[in-house]
Amino acid sequence: MPHISVSDEFLLWSQVCALWSIASYAIASDPLPEDRDNATFSWRTWKKTLPIRIIGTALFSYWMTHSIVTSGWLTTITAIHPWIRFRSPSKWTAELELLILISNALFVLAFLRHFHLHQQIYAPTSISKEQLSAISIVGAMLLLVIRGGTYIVRGCLRKTGTLPRITAKHAVEPETPNPQDQAKSPAARSQAFPSSSPEMEKDLFDVTEINRGRLIGNLERLILTIVVAAGSYAALGFLVAAKGLIRSEDLQDRDFAEYFLVGTLSSVLVALCSGVLIRFTLMSLWPELLSLQMQ
C-alpha cells in the first residue's frame, strides 16, 4: 500500500478523536438502563467524574483547535452522551452508540477540513505527522474496543432479551402458619398469602454474571483486536473455540447458551471490525511498524 501523506487537518482530527475517546470511554463507565437497580455500580464516582469529563473536554478541545464551535460541539456530545446511554430504548442501545460515534467523527472531520484548522499544540519533531496520527487513531480505537464495545454488546443483549436474569420472590407468608389459617380453604389461604402469585415475582438482572461477562468481554475484545491487527486471523477462531470449551457445561442451559452466543458473536464482530481498521491505519500511516512485527 502506498505511503499516505497526512494533512494538518487530518492530524488535528485524529487528535480530537483521541481526546473525545478518552473523555467518553477512559475515565469512567456510564450507567445503562439495567444498572438502575445495580447496587455494585459506582454512582458516586460517576457523578464526580462526569463534570470533570465535560469541563476537561471543553478546555482541551479549545486548546487544541482554538475553535469555539468545535469545542462546543465536543462538550455538548460529552454531556448528553451519558444521558442517551441511560435513557436509550432497549432495542436501540447499540445503534445509538454507533450513530453518535460515526456522526461525531464525520462532523468534526468535515468542520476541520472546511475551515482549514491546524493543530495548536506542540508535536515532537522525532515523530512524523503520519506516526502521530496513527498513534492517536489506534489509541482511540482501543478505548472504543474495551469500553465502547461493552455498550454495543450490552445493546445487542438487550435487543434480543438475553441478559441473564434471576427471579426474586417477595414472600410474605410466615414460616410457622397460624393453626386458624391452616383450617381455611386453599382459596382463602391463597388470598391471605398472595406471595406465590406471579405478581409478587420480579425478574431482576443477574448483576454478578453481567459484571463477570463484561470483564471477560473486555479482555476478549482487546486480545482479538490485537490479533486481527497483527494479521493472525487463524488465532481468532482458536480463541473463540477455547472460550466455548471452557464454559461448555453451562451451555446446556438454553438461556445461558443464548446469552453466551449473542454476547460472544457481537463482541467478536466489534473486535474484528476494529482490528481491521487499526491494521488499515497502520498500513497506511505507519507501515514500518507492521514490517517489524512480520520479521
Query: What is the mean pLDDT of the segment spanning 104-111?
Result: 93
Confidence of residue 36 (pLDDT cuts 50, 70, 90): confident
Cell numbers given for 235: 488465532
Residue 271 in any domain: the answer is: yes
Query: What is the mean pLDDT of the segment spanning 155-169?
Result: 80
Residue 166 in any domain: the answer is: no
Confidence of residue 236 (pLDDT cuts 50, 70, 90): confident
Residue 213 in any domain: the answer is: yes
The domain tally of the chain equals: 1
Tell me the whole-structure pTM to 2 decimals: 0.81
5 vs 142: which has the higher pLDDT: 142
Residue 140 in any domain: the answer is: yes
Cell numbers given for 247: 464454559
- For residue 273, what are the domain limits? 8-159+206-294
pLDDT value of position 25? 94
Residue 49 in any domain: the answer is: yes
Cell numbers given for 189: 389461604
Q: Is the Cα torsion angle 273, 275, 278, 279 positive or negative in sign?
A: negative
pLDDT value of position 122? 62
Residue 134 in any domain: the answer is: yes
Residue 175 in any domain: the answer is: no
Residue 230 in any domain: the answer is: yes
> pLDDT at residue 225 above 90?
yes
Query: What is the mean pLDDT of the segment spanning 96-116?
Result: 92
How many residues make up the chain in this entry?
295
Query: What is the mean pLDDT of the segment spanning 216-222?
Result: 90
pLDDT value of position 58? 96
**CA 100/CA 84 separation, integer angstroms:** 10
